Structure 1
């Protein structure tokens, strides 16, 4: 039989942790009426979110910063009815200064050219980490006006014939050209499905779905 005296000695030591402190705070300060298991579940869930926010810090390298933005997958259709308080966000690491930027400066590139390169990079880095930035995010990071970011985005898209994956396009918000229109435009220009997927940052299934919808409308 398990010895009870060991439980009496060591259980208090195991209970001396942040989870216990927060559970006690819920009960004593906030008069939370949930049971012990519910309280602990809520506390552990909150600590998981805190840990997620701390996660990128050790991964930050020279020239990088931590930023948080809206997750690509919101679990519901994003739009103006979804406030930022109710939007799923997560922290990511963005590269503000890279060796390529320094090499461009060394070769005589203008400040505008560097900022356009940074703009393209941070939007793509965010998407690679499951987040979509909007132009206000980028303007705060680059310390300029959102309209200036919009200008950078339009210039890069025109020069490279690509789509910058900002939140306006991926979540169909704001004044951005919707991804549906761009997908159809690339199709009419005879781009292949994989190339359209790459340029618009959408899955092959999503591209196929939009093109099927377009063809149905065309037939009608």
Structure 2
């Protein structure tokens, strides 16, 4: 349970108004100031403002229309596969909008949640918001939004993954870039723990094909480990030494269980 410190107690008077800075409340103020609440008091004004806000959501769907607290980014499409030497000029990009903060995050901050914990949750949410729009951000994208280094962003992301036993959708995992071994071993370990691949797909935001491919890779290492020296397995399997070593650690942990 979070204990309010002197600092967090001060947040209570500084941030509640952020939640109320909405299009709906702007409409409500217009009704009350220009139309005298239409004779129905605050309740009628609130109902009308809610209906106008919902109507605006239905009609203003252009990517150029952003709400308060949102940011427009241009990000790599999730369907765009990387390759050696491929430049960004030859990569398919897509503009998206993400929420810089949510009402819940404001309330968590007011309630005393620590900066690091809130930043971790915020990064995880933004990665998922981007992926839901068909793109995958990288750690550099996250670092610019949060004014930190990509290394720091990576630490936060990997911390969330370890704490929740999930794989977040960013270029390092979806496009097998960066710390590729990490998410592969996470997926294989979920499989070795008896979790169905359909559930692993949902938990890790990977396709069934990708999950099955990583599991087959682990099985290949398990088979080669019975006949060859460890230093020979990377060449024979076509995998990096770091990934082979991670799979070997998993094999030893689960007594070389393969299914």
TM-score above 0.5, yes or no: yes
**Contact 1:79–1:172 (8 Å) recurs in 2:** no
Name structure 2 gaps, 5 residues minimum.
Answer: 1-60, 225-259
Partner SS, residue 165 of structure 1: coil
CA deviation after TM superposition for structure 1 residue 177, in Å = 3.1
* CA pair 178-130 structure 1, distance change in 2 beyond 3 A: farther
Q: What's the CA shift string for 1:129-164, capped at 9, x where partnerless?
A: 111100000001111111110111121111111111
Residue of structure 2 equivalent to 1:118: 122
Residue of structure 2 equivalent to 1:199: 203
In the alignment, the residues of structure 1 paired with residue 120 and residue 202 of structure 2 have an alpha-carbon distance, to the nearest angstrom, of: 20
CA deviation after TM superposition for structure 1 residue 182, in Å = 2.6
Residues 1:73 and 2:91 aligned together: no
Aligned residues: 164
* TM-score normalised by structure 1 residue count: 0.68
Once superposed, what is the RMSD of the aligned Cα atoms? Answer: 2.0
* TM-score normalised by structure 2 residue count: 0.58
Residue of structure 2 equivalent to 1:20: none
Name structure 1 gaps, 5 residues minimum.
Answer: 1-53
In the alignment, the residues of structure 2 paired with residue 216 and residue 148 of structure 1 have an alpha-carbon distance, to the nearest angstrom, of: 34
Partner SS, residue 68 of structure 2: coil
Residue of structure 2 equivalent to 1:63: 69
CA deviation after TM superposition for structure 1 residue 194, in Å = 2.0
* CA pair 191-175 structure 1, distance change in 2 beyond 3 A: same
**Contact 1:80–1:173 (8 Å) recurs in 2:** no
In the alignment, the residues of structure 2 paired with residue 84 and residue 55 of structure 1 have an alpha-carbon distance, to the nearest angstrom, of: 25
The 4+ residue runs of structure 1 with deviation greater than 6 A are none
In the alignment, the residues of structure 2 paired with residue 177 and residue 110 of structure 1 have an alpha-carbon distance, to the nearest angstrom, of: 30
In the alignment, the residues of structure 2 paired with residue 213 and residue 111 of structure 1 have an alpha-carbon distance, to the nearest angstrom, of: 39
